[in-house]
Amino acid sequence: MSQQNRLIAGRYELRDQIGAGAMGVVWRAGDLKLERVVAVKELLLPSHFDAQAVQQARRRAQREARIAARLHHPNAITVHDVVEQDGQPWLIMEYLPSQSLAAILAERGPLPVGDAVRIGKHMADALAAAHKASVVHRDVKPGNVLLGAEGTVKITDFGISRALDDTTATATGHYAGTPAFFAPEVARGQEAGYPSDVFSLGATLYNAVEGVPPFGITDNSIAQLYRAAAGTIRPPERAGALTPLLARLLDLDPRARPTMAEAAEALDVLARSTAPTPTLVVDLRDQLTSSFTLPPRSPSHEQRSRRRAAAGLAVALVVLIAVVSGAFYYANVAKRSEASTPPPSSSSSAPPKSTSAKPPVTAPLVVESSGKCLDVPGKATENGTAVTIFDCNGGDNQLWTPTAAGELRVYNGAKCLDARLAGTEPGTSVDIHDCNGGANQKWALNADRSITGKQSGLCLDVLASGTDYGTPVVLWTCAGGTNQRWSHR
């Protein structure tokens, strides 16, 4: 049976499968309560587990997930929740549109040393924070390093291999984790600890620059374990300035390895001394293009009431669009608004002062590809909240006011649409921020209904032509698609 649209714990609606590994299947899902996109991982318990082992594994999964949920770091995927559905543990995590480092390496081959050093630095920062909080990752490997837009690096799956570990490993020969990146002492059966995470960080960086893990790769996992246990590492050939640090991270003696905090510092020094390389551009379009073709869903109660509210609002909006005009008013919208109704008072929402002779229009921005609205998810008001699309509901988190200064203000004028970190690259995400007059907060609403960042010249774009609620909005090269055409009405 297809799992698409299945509701987990009465709250998380599975949308599309974004990956699968040895320990589970990962879904992009909608959190219907907080109205945001999340990643959901169904933890698959090994088939040889008996009832008692299943019980133990469930308890361990809960415990490990709770521990991981305590970790909050910009380079770690946040664990929001762990729930049970049909007897299986499900992990609810932050969703990052991304490609894993493993996928990038498979696609493009080894990375330049500068890129590996930068990725390694972010990984080590997150892992050092985890170690400080007494969390051992236990499965550091390229598949668990997610690379997003704008050079974002986040590690996922903290502690998960422990949750699914087989306590009878020695008896059955089963283990959780990935032997190609195991420290030799772990391959020999010792408990994973902080130094083994350090080794696995080294193995991941070795893989990134050399194209193969330190002990090579074989399809036979037992042979792979033996290789790791024997600890014969082929000296790196392409690691350049990273070579001496790799040797320390990959020391066969766990006690001789640096701590994760020391590794982070060493990688920071290297990152400053190696010639800056352009940020690795991760193509999120390829990854997501096929992800948004879902059959129509039957509306949930919540959605139905939202729609009713939206329908009521639509009437109000028709009145609104009938009377207002301004510098950013689209021609096609104007045609529909010939009815005469007195102009609404815009002072109730206290929009910013405009130097334009015409009053500013406060209205939703509706994208043509899906008819959904530019939305600040969950009505979050913090700086840096990335905007997405969502069913139009008339909330003040969906009402945008263009100002004469070129800003697009939301929340009754309190926040501005902002190209994140002043990014000018395709893929730059768009968020809300205190209005500060920055060039990255200036937008042009054009006659062809595109909205361009005045600083980047790029178009406001619904990622990968997504039509699903929660799809991120980014800056992208203007291509005239319906996912780049917005109506302000």
Ligand X SMILES: Nc1ncnc2c1ncn2[C@@H]1O[C@H](COP(=O)(O)OP(=O)(O)OP(=O)(O)O)[C@@H](O)[C@H]1O
CA distances from 46 to 1, 2, 49, 190 (A): 21, 21, 6, 21
- Taking the least distance from each CB to ligand X, the nearer of 19 and 30 is 19
Residues of this chain that bind ligand X (CB under 6 A): 18-24, 26, 39, 77, 93-96, 98, 100, 143-144, 146, 156-157, 178
Catalogue the long-range contacts made by 295-300 (C-beta closer than 8 Å, 24 or more residues apart): 295/4, 295/5, 297/5, 297/13, 300/13, 300/32
- Taking the least distance from each CB to ligand X, the nearer of 26 and 246 is 26
CB 26 within 8 A of CB 34: no
Partner whose footprint covers residue 294, from Mg ion, ligand X, none (CB < 5 to 8 Å by kind): none
The residue among 292, 290, 255 whose CA lies nearest residue 388 is 292
Q: Coil, strand, or helix at residue 383? A: coil
CA distances from 377 to 30, 32, 37, 174, 387 (A): 12, 11, 9, 42, 6
Partner whose footprint covers residue 39, from Mg ion, ligand X, none (CB < 5 to 8 Å by kind): ligand X
Partner whose footprint covers residue 398, from ligand X, Mg ion, none (CB < 5 to 8 Å by kind): none
Minimum gap (Å) between residue 41 Cβ and Mg ion: 8
Q: Coil, strand, or helix at residue 61? A: helix
Supply the DSSP symbol for 142: G
CB 374 within 8 A of CB 344: no
Minimum gap (Å) between residue 172 Cβ and Mg ion: 22
Partner whose footprint covers residue 150, from Mg ion, ligand X, none (CB < 5 to 8 Å by kind): none
- Taking the least distance from each CB to Mg ion, the nearer of 23 and 387 is 23
The secondary structure of 177-217 as a DSSP string is S-GGG--HHHHTTPPP-HHHHHHHHHHHHHHHHHSS-TT--
- Taking the least distance from each CB to ligand X, the nearer of 101 and 267 is 101
Run of H or E residues at 452: strand 451-453
Q: Which residue has the tokens 């690691």?
A: 239
Contact between 431 and Mg ion by CB under 5 A: the answer reads no
Partner whose footprint covers residue 8, from ligand X, Mg ion, none (CB < 5 to 8 Å by kind): none
Contact between 418 and Mg ion by CB under 5 A: the answer reads no
Exactly one of 78, 98, 99, 144 binds Mg ion (CB under 5 A); which one? 144
Residue 358 annotated as binding site: no
| 16-45: contacts with Mg ion (CB under 5 A) | 21
Helix axes 194-210, 101-108, angle to 10 degrees: 20
- Taking the least distance from each CB to Mg ion, the nearer of 21 and 89 is 21
Interface map 229-258 toward Mg ion (x if CB under 5 A): ------------------------------
Minimum gap (Å) between residue 380 Cβ and ligand X: 19
Q: Is 139 a known active-site residue?
A: yes
Run of H or E residues at 408: strand 408-410
Minimum gap (Å) between residue 161 Cβ and ligand X: 7
Minimum gap (Å) between residue 141 Cβ and ligand X: 7
Minimum gap (Å) between residue 466 Cβ and ligand X: 14
- Taking the least distance from each CB to ligand X, the nearer of 19 and 360 is 19
Partner whose footprint covers residue 83, from Mg ion, ligand X, none (CB < 5 to 8 Å by kind): none
CB 31 within 8 A of CB 49: no
Contact between 210 and Mg ion by CB under 5 A: the answer reads no
Contact between 99 and Mg ion by CB under 5 A: the answer reads no
Residue 316, number of CB atoms within 10 A of its CB: 11
Contact between 157 and Mg ion by CB under 5 A: the answer reads yes
- Taking the least distance from each CB to ligand X, the nearer of 101 and 124 is 101
Say how far residue 302 (Cα) sits from the centre of its chain.
25
Q: What share of the chain is helix, strand, coil (3-state, %, to 5)?
A: 35, 20, 45
Task: Please choose, out of 154-162, 199-207, 212-220, 260-268, the segment that lies near Mg ion by the rule CB under 5 A.
Answer: 154-162
Say how far residue 65 (Cα) sits from the centre of its chain.
19
Partner whose footprint covers residue 93, from Mg ion, ligand X, none (CB < 5 to 8 Å by kind): ligand X
Catalytic, out of 139, 251, 418, 431: 139
Name the site residues for Mg ion (rule: CB under 5 A).
21, 144, 157
Give catalytic residue positions. 139
Which residue ranges make up the annotated binding site for ATP? 41
Which residue ranges make up the annotated binding site? 41
